């Protein structure tokens, strides 16, 4: 276990021994103790966004994408229309979800290094009064770009529309306060900045909107209205829950609070990002995004312009030195990505930089 490589990816990510040990206990899915565990997790998650007065936390089995699909399918009426803001692969995926679900949608796409602006959204909503919802990726994981959530949320509210936020890569590390940022739904998952394991998504759904959503869903399993109503009535999940994932997340949340909650988690990730950017710059690798729109979650780097560089070879060499990186997800330029999240600190990030430098020297790509 101690020899396992560190995952410098946007999830799954490296977890603590305590979190892994929490999965050594088997739970009965209808047992009172497990129900209390679920309720505690939901309560703690709501506290992170100060959302207990305004939103319900509805957990769902599956990856984050399951929860995104459930939110769109449950909260957007069948005659609704979604404006999907895109500057990366996950915005594209959200638009595809709308298409598959048969929800009307339009898209607004900017370059992968350009945030959507509040002025863009203002103009688009003014031009199309049939739009009922706006869907935004807060931190677009394909590059690490941070979109201006607060400003966009105010514009959406000003037009009387409803905001759905994919906060998969930002929740728990970047501040989002439900008392200050109006949204109908915010979606995240267990295996990201909370440093749990993958397998459970969750949707913070505005209470009145969720109550009004009966009959909207395209799917029995992904009906958040039904999931919430059943859990509120019985304390139980409708279908077999990911018991070990819930237990791991409960333990990860305890460590999150011990560390100092969101401010401390954000600071550690910001320090990781700073160390990574400085170290990579020192060996001649350029980041894809300018610093002002770079979230401290995952960083995209331009691949070296050298015929001897092949990502697969590079990946395997870095892995052999103890770190797992992520391939690029851009179509126009060759890149690779390095995550700043998980149970790792600045020393670990510097060690990763050193591993990258050593690997590139071995490939005769780097001559320093």
| Measured CA angle at 56 (ends 61, 185), to 5 deg | 80
Task: Share the mean pLDDT of the chain.
Answer: 96
- Contact call for residues 248 and 82 (beta carbons, < 8 A): no
- Domain-embedded: residue 28: yes
Tokens 């209205």 — which residue?
A: 225
Q: Measure the CA–CA gap between 106 and 109, rounded to whole angstroms.
A: 10
Asked if 298 and 154 sit in the same domain, the reply is no
Asked if 32 and 67 sit in the same domain, the reply is yes
Say yes or no to pLDDT of 2 above 80: no
**In a 10 Å sphere around its CB, with 0-12 CB exposed, 13-18 middle and 19+ buried, how is residue 257 labelled?**
middle
Tokens 């050594």 — which residue?
A: 24
154-211 confidence digits (pLDDT tens) = 999 999 999 999 999 999 999 999 999 999 999 999 999 999 999 999 999 999 999 9
Q: Residue 157, preceding bond cis, omega within 30 degrees?
A: no
322-356 confidence digits (pLDDT tens) = 999 999 877 678 999 999 999 999 999 999 999 99
Asked if 154 and 72 sit in the same domain, the reply is yes
For the chain, the three-class secondary structure string (H helix, E strand, C coil) is: CCCCCEECCCCCCCCCHHHHHHHHCCCCCCCHHHHHHHHHHHHHHHHHCCCCCCEEEEEEECCHHHHHHHHHHHHCCCCCEEEEEECCHHHHHHHHHHHHHCCEEEEEECCCCCCCCHHHHHHHHHHCCCCCEEEEECEECCCCEECCHHHHHHHHHHCCCEEEEECCCCCCCCCCCCCCCCCCEEEEECCCCCCCCCCEEEEEEEHHHHHCCCCCCCCCCCCHHHHHHHHHHHCCCCCCCCHHHHHHHHHHHHHHHHHCHHHHHHHHHHHHHHHHHHHHHHCCCCECCCHHHECCCEEEEECCCCCCCCHHHHHHHHHHCCEECEECCCCCCCEEEEECCCCCCHHHHHHHHHHHHHHHHHCCCCCC
Neighbours of 64 (CB within 10 A): 26
Asked if 282 and 185 sit in the same domain, the reply is no
The pLDDT value recorded for residue 3 is 76
81-109 confidence digits (pLDDT tens) = 999 999 999 999 999 999 999 999 999 99
**Which of 209, 233, 257 lies at the terminal end of a domain, its last residue?**
257
The pLDDT value recorded for residue 7 is 97
- Domain-embedded: residue 367: no
Say yes or no to pLDDT of 1 above 50: no
The pLDDT value recorded for residue 367 is 65
Q: What is the DSSP letter of 337?
A: E
- Domain-embedded: residue 368: no
- Domain-embedded: residue 1: no
Q: Measure the CA–CA gap between 327 and 317, rounded to whole angstroms.
A: 14
- Domain-embedded: residue 57: yes
Asked if 266 and 251 sit in the same domain, the reply is no
262-315 confidence digits (pLDDT tens) = 999 999 999 999 999 999 999 999 999 999 999 999 999 999 999 999 999 999
**Which of 236, 257, 278 lies at the terminal end of a domain, its last residue?**
257
13-48 confidence digits (pLDDT tens) = 999 999 999 999 999 999 999 999 999 999 999 999
Say yes or no to pLDDT of 11 above 90: no
**Which of 257, 280, 300 lies at the terminal end of a domain, its last residue?**
257
Residue 296: give the domain boundaries. Answer: 6-10+261-362
Q: Please report, for the domain that includes residue 65, its CATH number.
A: 3.40.640.10
Q: Measure the CA–CA gap between 279 and 252, rounded to whole angstroms.
A: 29
Mean pLDDT of 312-321: 97
pTM of the model: 0.96
């Amino acid at each position: 276990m101690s020899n396992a490589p560190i995952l410098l990816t946007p999830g799954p990510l490296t977890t603590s021994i305590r979190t892994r040990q929490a999965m050594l206990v088997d739970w009965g899915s209808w047992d009172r103790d497990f129900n209390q565990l679920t309720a505690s997790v939901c309560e703690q998650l709501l506290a992170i966004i100060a959302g207990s007065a305004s939103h319900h936390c509805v957990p769902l089995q599956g990856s984050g994408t399951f929860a995104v699909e459930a939110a769109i399918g449950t909260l957007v009426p069948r005659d609704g229309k979604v404006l999907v803001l895109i500057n990366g692969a996950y915005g594209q995926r959200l638009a595809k979800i709308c298409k598959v679900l048969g929800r009307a949608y339009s898209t607004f796409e900017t370059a992968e290094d350009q945030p959507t602006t509040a002025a863009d959204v203002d103009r688009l909503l003014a031009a199309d009064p049939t739009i009922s919802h706006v869907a935004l990726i807060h931190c677009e994981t394909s590059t690490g770009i941070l979109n201006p959530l607060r400003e966009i949320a105010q514009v959406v509210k000003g037009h009387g529309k409803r905001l759905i936020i994919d906060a998969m890569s930002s929740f728990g590390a970047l501040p989002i306060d439900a008392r200050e940022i109006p949204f109908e739904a915010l979606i995240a998952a267990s295996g990201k900045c909370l440093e749990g394991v993958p397998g459970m998504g969750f949707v913070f759904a505005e209470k009145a909107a969720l109550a009004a959503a009966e009959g909207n869903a395209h799917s029995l399993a992904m009906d958040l209205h039904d999931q919430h109503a059943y859990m509120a009535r019985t304390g139980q999940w409708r279908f077999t829950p990911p018991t070990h994932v819930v237990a791991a997340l409960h333990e990860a949340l305890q460590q999150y609070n011990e560390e100092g909650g969101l401010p401390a988690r954000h600071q550690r990730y910001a320090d990781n990002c700073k160390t990574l950017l400085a170290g990579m710059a020192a060996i001649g690798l350029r980041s894809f995004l300018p610093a002002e729109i770079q979230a401290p979650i995952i960083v995209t780097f331009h691949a070296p312009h050298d015929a001897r560089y092949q990502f697969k070879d590079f990946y395997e060499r870095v892995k052999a030195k103890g770190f797992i990186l992520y391939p690029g997800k851009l179509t126009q330029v060759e890149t690779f990505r390095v995550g700043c999240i998980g149970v790792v600190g600045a020393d670990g990030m510097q060690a990763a930089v050193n591993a990258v430098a050593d690997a590139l020297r071995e490939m005769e790509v780097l001559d320093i």
